Amino acid sequence: MTHEEQERIIIPDENGEEHLFDILFTFDVEQTGRSYMVVKPVEAPEDDDDEYEEVFGFRYEETDGEFSLYPIETDAEWDMVEEMLNTFTTEDI
């Protein structure tokens, strides 16, 4: 997928300020019926170390084209998202 084709989403922070993110990938877990999304900020903070890109993971539900994002709360969910991220970054190289 080229940069121009990259899907994007706007996510407000705790202060209501909106931030634009690239959707890296989404995946579904059949056993739980849940869906997950991994995103990265379109504009990285200037003081960021170029060696690592900051990414965020969310559980999401889509209804009538609208996304509802939820924080990932359990270590098991985080482990699953990290495993998928590692697979994604390995395939991207």
User: DSSP assignment of 32-90, as one string?
Assistant: TTEEEEEEEESS--TT--TTS---EEEEEEEETTEEEEE---SHHHHHHHHHHHHHHHH
Nearest to 28 by CA among 68, 80, 75: 80
Domain that holds residue 44: 3-92
Mean pLDDT of 79-86: 90
pTM for this model (two decimals): 0.77
Answer yes or no: is pLDDT of 19 > 50: yes
Mean pLDDT of 66-71: 90
Answer yes or no: is pLDDT of 45 > 70: no
The residue with greater pLDDT, 46 or 55, is: 55
Which two three-digit tokens encode residue 72? 């990932």
pLDDT in tens, 20-42: 999 999 999 998 899 999 999 99
| Total domains present in the chain | 1
